[in-house]
């Protein structure tokens, strides 16, 4: 367990050392303030009710889970797996006294921590940004709901991360893996409009499942069903991804 912990810290340090990781972390924290002028213009300048300060953190979360987090994930996971096999730097990792299972798990754990950190930064930034908007009656209740939404939004991101790790096992360069991940993600999103009956079988459908946790009516049965599906996806793609990672030759 200690080796797994040290390997996870090592992978996390490697991730944080990349400029693109710093950019996405900064973007997550600043995104609520970047969108603030637009919302304020809609609410006051044009006299249009755009987004209330209670809804604002959820609006930012929707942007994070649909665009920012998946893109950061595709880039980072492609570098961690396909990139390291492509430039042979994975050799320096494999010679350590660690099993491939622990190496594979530590990479995913580091990615999970990064996703959780990005959600935390997004939540903190959106909460601070709401104080620049006109106050509504139930602000504290809305912020509590937002905190819950940001916490549960991590689950579909974790499931999507295992899917990405599985896909990148079939590439030996990061750019190819990144391109395919983006294309598949966009296709999975677009197919929702053509064949909505098939989208229930895709983890990309549930990037907005946090919206089930907010509001006056919460469907426990639907939440339990989606939770089971996402957990099952995570287990299947984690196991499959590790299988191909273990069989890969350097």
pTM comes to: 0.90
pLDDT at 92: 86
**Per residue of the chain (250 residues), what is the pLDDT tens digit?**
888 999 999 999 999 999 999 999 999 999 999 988 877 776 665 555 556 667 889 989 999 999 999 999 999 999 999 999 988 888 888 888 889 999 999 999 999 999 999 999 999 999 898 888 776 667 777 788 899 999 999 999 999 999 999 999 999 899 999 999 999 999 998 887 777 777 777 888 898 889 888 877 778 888 999 999 999 999 999 999 999 999 988 7
pLDDT at 46: 56
On the CB side of 9, how many CA atoms lie within 13 Å of its CA? 5
Distance, CA of 246 to CA of 169 (rounded, Å): 10
Give the 3-state secondary structure of residue 99.
coil
DSSP string, 154-205: HHHHHHHHHHHHHHHTT-SSHHHHHHHHHHHHHHHHHHHHH-TTTGGG-GGG
pLDDT at 64: 95
Closest CA to 147 of 217, 207, 209, 58: 58
Contact between 78 and 169 under an 8 Å Cβ cutoff? The reply is no
Give the 3-state secondary structure of residue 216.
coil
77: left (phi over 0), alpha (psi -120 to 50) or beta: alpha
Spell out a b/e string for 2-28, using b for 16 or more CB atoms within 10 Å of the CB, else e: eebeebbebbbebbeeeeebeebbebb
pLDDT at 43: 66
pLDDT at 8: 95
Spell out a b/e string for 114-146, using b for 16 or more CB atoms within 10 Å of the CB, else e: bbbebbebbbebbbebbeebeeeeeeeebbebb
Report the 10 Å Cβ neighbour count for 91. 11
Give the 3-state secondary structure of residue 86.
helix
Spell out a b/e string for 181-217, using b for 16 or more CB atoms within 10 Å of the CB, else e: beebbeebbeeeeeeeeebeebbbbbbebbebebeee
For the chain, the first-to-last Cα distance in angstroms comes to 26
Closest CA to 146 of 79, 240, 52, 221: 52
**Which residue reads 């069989």 in tokens?**
247
């Amino acid at each position: 367990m200690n080796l797994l912990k040290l390997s996870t810290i090592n992978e996390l340090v490697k991730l944080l050392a990349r400029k693109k990781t710093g950019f996405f972390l900064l973007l997550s924290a600043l995104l609520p303030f970047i969108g603030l002028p637009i919302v304020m213009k809609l609410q006051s300048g044009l006299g249009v009710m755009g987004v209330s300060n209670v809804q604002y953190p959820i609006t930012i979360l929707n942007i994070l889970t649909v665009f920012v987090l998946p893109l950061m994930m595709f880039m980072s996971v492609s570098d961690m797996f396909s990139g390291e096999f492509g430039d042979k730097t994975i050799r320096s990792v494999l010679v350590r006294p660690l099993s491939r299972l622990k190496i594979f798990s530590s990479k995913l754990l580091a990615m999970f921590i990064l996703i959780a950190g990005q959600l935390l930064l997004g939540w903190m930034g959106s909460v601070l940004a709401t104080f620049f908007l006109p106050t509504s009656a139930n602000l504290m209740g809305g912020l509590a709901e937002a905190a819950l939404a940001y916490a549960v939004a991590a689950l579909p991101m974790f499931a999507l991360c295992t899917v990405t790790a599985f896909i990148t096992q079939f590439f030996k360069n990061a750019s190819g893996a990144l391109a395919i991940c983006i294309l598949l993600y966009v296709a999975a999103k677009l197919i929702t409009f053509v064949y909505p009956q098939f989208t229930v079988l895709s983890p990309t459908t549930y990037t907005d499942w946090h919206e089930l946790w907010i509001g006056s009516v919460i469907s426990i049965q639907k939440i339990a069903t989606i939770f089971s599906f996402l957990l099952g996806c995570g287990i299947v793609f984690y196991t499959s991804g590790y299988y191909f990672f273990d069989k890969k030759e350097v």
